Structure formats: C-alpha cells, structure tokens
Amino acid sequence: MQEAAIREAAQILWSNWQAGMQIESLPSTCRPSSRVDGYAVQAAVQAASGASVFGWKIAATSAAGQAHIGVDGPLAGRLLAGRAHDGGAVLPLAGNHMCVAEPEFAFRLARTLPPRAASYATDEVLAAVSTLHPAIEVPDSRYRDFASVGAAQLIADNACAHYFVLGAPAPDGWRGIDLAEYVVSGIVTGRLTRQGKGANVLGDPRIALTWLANELSRLGIALEAGHVVTTGTCVPPLEVVAGDHVIADFGALGKTEVRFGH
C-alpha cells in the first residue's frame, strides 16, 4: 500500500473508534489486501491516536474464535495506553457493539525480544517474561459485520482491540503450573458463570505468547520490555450490558474485575 492510502485507512478507523461508529468496510482505495498491509494500517492507527503502545493482544486463538470472525489463524493487535486499566476499573459500554468481556492470561516482558531471522522458542520467550497476570479484554470492532471483512481489515482495525483490564501479578509459582490445563472462571455477577482453560488459547497461553513474539519478529517489530501481552480468551466470551460486574477468577493465580457504567 502507498503511504497516503495507509494514512487514509488509519484516519477512517481512528475517527470511527473515537465516535463509537461502525463502517461496512474500508473504501477500495485504501483497503489492505494482505496481513502485512493490515499491520501497516494498524501502526498508522496507533500513530493517529497519539497514544503509546501499552502492549499487544492476540485475537482468534481458538478454533471457535477464528470461525467467529472468519479467519484461519490468530491476529495481533496493539493495546493503546489510555485504554488499558488496572483491575476494578469502571468502563463505558456506549458505542461498543460486541459487548463482551473475555478472561485472559497476560504476560509482562522483562526484556526486549528484538526481530531476528530465527524463530523464538517458547522457553526463550518465557525467560524474557517478568510476570503473569489475570486480565480481562473488552474488545470491539469498527466494522458492522466484522466476520465478513477478512483478516487484513481486522488487523488494520487493531484486531478488535478496545479496552483492557490488567490484574495484579500472579504468585511467582505460576511457572511451575500447567497453564494448558489450568481452569479459569468468568463471572457476570448475579447471572452468568462460564469456565474454560488455558488449552483454549492456541493449546497453551505460553504457545500463544511465543506466536506473538514470532509474528512481530517477522514484521520487524520488537516485543519490548515492559509491554504486556494478553493471549486471547480462555473462557467463552461473557455477554455484558451496562451495570454489569465481571470477575475473572484464576484461582490461586488471582482474580481481576471490571464494572460497566450505565
């Protein structure tokens, strides 16, 4: 894509994000047709926002999630500073058309993983991690029918990033736990409880984290020290409405929560 087209697409997406509005798709004059073009637009969306990168999210880390948005593999998106909050935050739902909350394993990096020719191994990526956190993602899309626009446009739209809630660090013993088999509960207090486990996230949240490191490396992007990576929902998404109180309960690893304002 030409730079002018990348900037045009980014401005359309960012303007609609700010206004809580949706479009059918990006105009043909500035519509990305490949994952690489999609990531170029995504970077320009972040630039248009004026926000720094808090970290990264991974979308479509389960077969059900991939089918839901019409893609055949995971997608990476930037978490923008100012849209990432500590546990206990009160967030708006106005303009959010997905209206779901997703309990997720999140990792904070202690050191930077720079782009390189060789793929990163999972053990190598985990050695660069400082802490594991319970987290809740509150996604949304700037497309009315996000399941129909394809991977390139979804990547351009920050892989459906919107708000993110980060809980306190888990106890240090998390490294000795089989996260694939670890059970997590998602609770909308008073009306809904669902369970899932880490295996719902590309087979293991640690594998998802490694996928993200290698996806960025292929794009020439460093996964930087201090960044947080949220690895995708391990529980079927929780439908929410204004006034709801959501708890992501990770048992011995801790919990975090979010409330949605009226």
pLDDT digits (tens, 9 = 90+) for 199-243: 999 999 999 999 999 999 999 999 999 999 999 999 999 999 999
Handedness of CA 224, 51, 255, 213 (dihedral sign): negative
End-to-end CA distance of the chain, in Å? 41
Buried b (16+ CB within 10 A) or exposed e, 68-92: ebebeebbbbbbbeebbbebebebe
251 domain-assigned? no
Assign 78 to helix, strand or coil.
strand
Domain enclosing residue 156, as ranges: 3-83+106-171+198-233
- Tell me, what CATH number does 143's domain have? 3.90.850.10
262 domain-assigned? no
Q: What is the mean pLDDT of residues 59-80?
A: 86
Handedness of CA 88, 90, 96, 99 (dihedral sign): positive
21 domain-assigned? yes
Q: Are 225 and 206 in contact (CB under 8 A)?
A: no
90 domain-assigned? no
Name the pTM for this structure: 0.96
Structure tokens at 40: 């170029």
Q: How many domains does the chain have?
A: 1
